[in-house]
A and B are shown apart, each in its own frame.
Chain A
Amino acid sequence: MTCSRRAFLKDAVGGTLASVLPLSAFTFISSAEAKAAIAESKVRWAFLVDTTKCVGCGLCVKACKNENEIPYDAEVTRTWVERYVITKDGKAHIDSPMGGRDGFTSMEIDGEEIEPDNIDKAFFVPKLCNQCDNPACVQVCPVGATYQTNDGVVLVDRDWCIGCGYCIMACPYGVRFFHPVHKVADKCNFCYHRISKGMEPACVECCSFGARRLANLKDPDDPVTKIITTERVAVLKDEYGTKPHVFYLGLDANVR
């Protein structure tokens, strides 16, 4: 097959045009439009967990399940409480039966009775979605069903989620689960319907001990923000670079 220079150039230009033209159907937004879409929010929700105050009553888990219509007896929950018992041999005994939904009422952990004399320390750690600034779960969503709102909360679009489960695998904190009724990914959203009305999340409202508190990081006068900015707080799994926004007071090195 012979091909003159003229014919080659003609075909090359034609081919390029043919492949580029359909692209014009996509919308390109200007930088001004992009800026308007970002629209700086005056709110950045964050959370403070005081592990020294938690007594493991599990009323937060119960409230969360009721508030957010998570099937009560299914082994999935948006928030849960873990019990850590560190024995004198340095071993950490950890449990969270039904996510701590019914509280912790016996010394038994996983069928093992631990002698009080053998305990160095014991404490409870509530966990929930960290509403990360770099949420790994959002990055992996192939359909744009999960996203970060302007105020920092990560939401799941139940109409758009295809239930592939990538986000459930991606979350380093194991916060996401498959909703048994809606058949989509589900997660804690700080009770978005409540906080956007000026209410506290259900778990915060139902905590009698002040172990859970909501903060608006962009409000310097917020008492909880003041604690986060002035006291020694820690986050979970900092090394993942997800920039979690649930801060812990009194976090122990045994907590993973």
Chain B
Amino acid sequence: MKWHVLRPLWVAIGLIGAILIARVFLVPDDFGVHGRNFTYGFHRLSNVQEWKDFPVKYQGREACVECHEENVHMLDASTHATVECENCHGPGVDHPDGVESLPLDTTRDLCLRCHAFLEYPNSARGDLLSIEDRRHRRRSECIKCHNPHDPKEDMR
């Protein structure tokens, strides 16, 4: 075969070789088929651990009860027992060591999420005690009269 035909062939082989060598350095060792098959499991294995190490923000009331026993027990006994502490107090990450006080949300808007009256038949929303926002003490914060830890308690 003539040289002018062979020459591009060597160039092509050289290129493939260069790409393969570069690949050894660029692709992490744990990159490959892990899991079911190539279609669904082609990835960098250590990324699974990276996601597992993602920081947890919401600690749950088991963490709250360690110091705020009284409040948690009061809440547990109330009609608000199913409401998580962190829904109103904010995520407890780094508290109390890093973040001294959590960003407590005392706004009317927070209460209205569940307690604004929506006239929806066959919806669980209708079963909740609710107010018409426009008619019920428009400008005051709910917590002035209602104790969120024990809503049945009369604070007036």
A interface, CB within 8 angstroms of B: 11, 15, 18, 22, 25, 27, 29, 34, 37-38, 52-59, 62-63, 66-68, 85, 102-107, 116, 119-124, 134-135, 138-139, 144-150, 155, 157, 159-160, 189, 192-194, 196-197, 199, 202, 205-206, 208-210
User: Which of B51, B86, B109: most chain A Cβ within 10 A?
Assistant: B51
Q: How many residues of B contact A (CB 8 A)?
A: 52
Inter-subunit contact B86/A206 (CB<8 Å)? yes
Residue of A nearest to B38 (CB): A144
Query: Which residues of B have CB within 8 Å of A56?
Result: 118, 125
Tell me which of A11, A124, A146, A205 contacts B60 (CB under 8 A).
A205
B120 interface contact, C-beta 8 A = yes
Inter-subunit contact B41/A37 (CB<8 Å)? yes
Bound CA–CA A102/B47 (angstroms): 33
| Closest Cβ–Cβ distance, residue A106 to chain B (whole Å) | 7
Tell me which of A29, A38, A63, A104 contacts B118 (CB under 8 A).
A104
| Closest Cβ–Cβ distance, residue A243 to chain B (whole Å) | 11
- Given the known interface contacts A105-B112, A193-B51, the answer about A208 and B41 at a Cβ–Cβ threshold of 8 Å is no
Question: Per-position contact with A for B40-63: 1 when CB-CB < 8 Å, else 0?
Answer: 111110011011111111101000
Tell me which of B48, B50, B53, B91 contacts A66 (CB under 8 A).
B91
Inter-subunit contact B91/A147 (CB<8 Å)? no
Query: Which residues of A have CB within 8 Å of B13?
Result: 18, 22
Residue of A nearest to B51 (CB): A192
| Closest Cβ–Cβ distance, residue B111 to chain A (whole Å) | 10
Inter-subunit contact B43/A209 (CB<8 Å)? no
Bound CA–CA A145/B51 (angstroms): 13
Inter-subunit contact B35/A103 (CB<8 Å)? no
Number of A-B contacts (CB under 8 A): 160
Residue of B nearest to A24 (CB): B20
Q: 16 new A-B pairs (CB below 8 Å) besides A103-B113, A107-B119?
A: A34-B33, A38-B41, A55-B123, A56-B125, A66-B57, A67-B57, A104-B116, A104-B118, A120-B121, A121-B123, A144-B43, A147-B42, A147-B43, A155-B48, A155-B51, A157-B43
Bound CA–CA A103/B117 (angstroms): 12
Inter-subunit contact B57/A147 (CB<8 Å)? no
Inter-subunit contact A148/B51 (CB<8 Å)? no
B39 interface contact, C-beta 8 A = yes
Inter-subunit contact A123/B57 (CB<8 Å)? no
Inter-subunit contact B16/A119 (CB<8 Å)? no
Inter-subunit contact A192/B125 (CB<8 Å)? no
Query: Which residues of A have CB within 8 Å of B123?
Result: 55, 121-124
| Closest Cβ–Cβ distance, residue A125 to chain B (whole Å) | 11
Inter-subunit contact A150/B119 (CB<8 Å)? no
Inter-subunit contact B1/A67 (CB<8 Å)? no
Inter-subunit contact B133/A105 (CB<8 Å)? yes
Sampled A-B contacts (23; CB under 8 Å): A29-B33, A38-B41, A54-B124, A55-B114, A58-B113, A63-B58, A66-B57, A102-B113, A104-B116, A104-B118, A105-B116, A105-B133, A119-B119, A121-B120, A122-B118, A147-B43, A149-B48, A157-B47, A160-B47, A193-B56, A197-B52, A199-B56, A199-B60
Bound CA–CA A63/B90 (angstroms): 9
- Residues facing A in B56-114 (CB within 8 A) are 56-58, 60, 82-84, 86-87, 90-91, 109, 112-114
Bound CA–CA A225/B44 (angstroms): 30
Inter-subunit contact B121/A121 (CB<8 Å)? yes
Tell me which of A37, A121, A122, A124 contacts B34 (CB under 8 A).
A37
Bound CA–CA A192/B9 (angstroms): 49
Tell me which of B9, B20, B90, B133 contacts A25 (CB under 8 A).
B20
